[in-house]
Amino acid sequence: MSIATTESPWGSTPRKHRSKFQLKRDAVLEAAAALFRQRGYEGASLNELADILNITKPTIYYYVESKDRLLLDIKIQVQEQILTFMKATVAGPGTALEKLRAIMIRYAEFMMSDYGTCLSLIANREIGEKGRIEVETRIEEANQILYRLLDQGKREGSMVVPDRVVACHGLFGSLNWMSQWAKPDGRLPPDKLIPMHVDILLSGVAAPTARAPDKPKRRRS
């Protein structure tokens, strides 16, 4: 299996604006996320990552201290992006159901990316106890946002939520699994697959449309 090459900011004639530390560090994270997705965490090596970026292994250590820290940084970065989107969506207009749908679609997009795959499929035990606590704290923060949104939907009547914990884990557990089976180059393109999948899931919590009253039967003369 070949690894897709990542455009490296290290080159024979790099542009001045490409010499910044953060740009190069981001390139390391992006290439590592793709490598972890295709090789698996255990199967990936920093030597291969260095080859992909056309740099030396010691150069990688300038931007990240270890392989497990590299994985942790990838997980944290995608978590922060997800939380930022969730908070902005919740603060915006729309019903709770509309907000939940928007969050689920964006979340699914993340899960089909290299970063999202690292977040959902690579076990947190690979990042040590301190890193695991950091990741799990953000997971709990996201869960609390979703619980409040489900409660709001139940109050306003846009959702039917028998149990918010079951609903949350049922909906987002399915989206997490997209990292395993949904492919960006699959039978359905992501812009069709993701809304379809989300709407199938939401049909289990969306309130049924109110039934129109029966029209009175006309009496025969």
Q: Class for domain 16-63, per CATH?
A: mainly alpha
Q: Determine the Cα–Cα distance for residues 80 and 84; give it in Å rounded to an integer.
A: 6
Residuewise pLDDT in 10s, the chain (221 residues): 334 445 556 554 444 444 588 899 999 999 999 999 999 999 999 999 999 999 999 999 999 999 999 999 999 999 999 999 999 999 999 999 999 999 999 999 999 999 999 999 888 888 889 999 999 999 999 999 999 999 999 999 999 999 999 999 999 999 999 988 988 888 999 999 999 999 999 987 777 663 444 544 555 54
Question: Where do runs of H (alpha helix) occur along 157-189?
Answer: 164-176, 178-181
Can you give the C-alpha Rg of the chain in angstroms? Answer: 22
Confidence at residue 11, expressed as pLDDT on a 0 to 100 scale = 54
Confidence at residue 4, expressed as pLDDT on a 0 to 100 scale = 45
Residue 27 CB contacts under 8 Å (≥ 6 apart), including other chains: 6, 7, 8, 9, 53
Q: Determine the Cα–Cα distance for residues 119 and 78; give it in Å rounded to an integer.
A: 7
Confidence at residue 212, expressed as pLDDT on a 0 to 100 scale = 41
- Give me the residue spans of the domains in the chain: 16-63, 69-202
Q: What are phi and psi of 92, to 5 degrees?
A: -90, -175
Confidence at residue 125, expressed as pLDDT on a 0 to 100 scale = 86
Question: Where do runs of H (alpha helix) occur along the chain?
Answer: 21-39, 46-53, 57-63, 67-91, 96-111, 114-121, 128-156, 164-176, 178-181, 190-202
Confidence at residue 200, expressed as pLDDT on a 0 to 100 scale = 92
Q: Determine the Cα–Cα distance for residues 98 and 101; give it in Å rounded to an integer.
A: 5
Confidence at residue 153, expressed as pLDDT on a 0 to 100 scale = 96
Of 32, 118, 24, the closest CA to residue 67 belongs to 32
The owner of tokens 């953000």 is: 138
The tokens of 89 are what? 């969506």
Look at the alpha carbons of 58, 9, 115, 92 in this order and tell me if their dihedral is positive or negative: positive
Q: Do domains 16-63 and 69-202 have the same CATH topology?
A: no
Q: Domain 69-202: which topology?
A: Tetracycline Repressor; domain 2 (1.10.357)
C-alpha 49: how far from chain center: 23
Identify the bridge partners of residue 206 per DSSP, sorted by sequence position. Answer: 159
Confidence at residue 9, expressed as pLDDT on a 0 to 100 scale = 61
Interhelix angle 67-91/96-111, nearest 10 degrees: 160
The tokens of 197 are what? 């999948």
